[in-house]
Structure 1
Amino acid sequence: MNELFFKLLELSQAGFFCSQILLIIGLEAQGKENPELVRAMSGLNGGVGFCGKTCGALTGGACLIGLYTGKGTLEEMEDSRENDMIRELVNWFEGTACAGYEGTNCDNILEGDPANRVTRCPQLVIDTLSKVEEILAANGYTLSGS
């Protein structure tokens, strides 16, 4: 088991879910904390408010890209490549990460059994983080922000 898996396990046991975990890891890589942002990400938990819709690993990954590329102040400009980066993540998620499932919704991934969260979600989060890092690196970003 690697360090990332143990971090994910620690955060999960503390009551955080996929989208929140991805943002916490991204913020920590920048040496930051932002409880308000992490709290806001809770709306994506369990497929948007535990409705079983779009997987939090995917939505969290898109938000993590946005953390690095999006507009956050009046003076900032979003990176013009942001939507292309997110599109690449979505295409990868649909075609690779969720290829063995009937879709990208939590309900599809968990196949109606919440117990599957323990075996499927950690790997999806790890794989999504890796893909986000790859996409960001290809566009001149690193998780550390340097």
Structure 2
Amino acid sequence: MDDKLKLAGQAYGKGFTCSQAVFCAYASDMGIDETTACRIMEGFGGGFGGMQEVCGALAAATAIISFYSSEGTPGNGEKRKKVYEKVCRAAEIFQKEYGGITCWEVLHGESPKAFQCGMKVKDTVLIINQILAECPKEKRTEQEMEAW
């Protein structure tokens, strides 16, 4: 876990958005190179393109939790329900900590600015790790286990 916190903090410190910093901390474990990960996640910063909607860090958490929890196949809804439950649990923890899940709520109506969300990046990594730790171990690959 310390590795993920360090990677996310370093990325955020370089000027990446909250969404990029969180997602890139897990990218190599998901088989995605850092440049591709950062390109994918840039538009989620500032609450979806700066619109102050869902926090970019939480959007990244959703992608990461989905990656590790989903089987990536269509189904009868039961599998999807389990992924949704984990995402909702992450959002619930985030909301309790920050009073909402949108940038607007989290930043108390202020516009997003560079380097103002470092703590949210850190806390989101902690939330991801908490949710992933709740995943059944038999569903994790050996590489995923080592990454945590």
Q: TM-score range by the shorter chain?
A: 0.7 to 0.9
The runs of 5 or more residues in structure 1 that have no matched partner are none
Q: 1:139 to 1:3 in 2, by over 3 A?
A: closer
Note if 1:145 corresponds to 2:137. Answer: no
Note if 1:15 corresponds to 2:24. Answer: no
Deviation at 1:46, TM superposition (A): 0.7
Find the counterpart in structure 2 of residue 127 from structure 1: 123
Q: 1:19 to 1:113 in 2, by over 3 A?
A: closer
- List aligned pairs for 1:1-146, cutoff 5 A: 6-29=6-29, 32-33=32-33, 35-72=35-72, 76=73, 80=79, 81-94=82-95, 96-99=96-99, 103-111=100-108, 112=110, 114-115=112-113, 118-119=115-116, 121-140=117-136, 144-146=143-145
The runs of 5 or more residues in structure 2 that have no matched partner are none
Q: 1:43 to 1:70 in 2, by over 3 A?
A: farther
Q: 1:7 to 1:37 in 2, by over 3 A?
A: closer
Deviation at 1:36, TM superposition (A): 3.2
**TM-score relative to the length of structure 1:** 0.74
Say whether the 8 Å CA contact 2:57–2:121 is kept in structure 1: yes
Q: What count of residue pairs does the alignment treat as equivalent? A: 136
Distance 1:128 1:16 in 2: 15
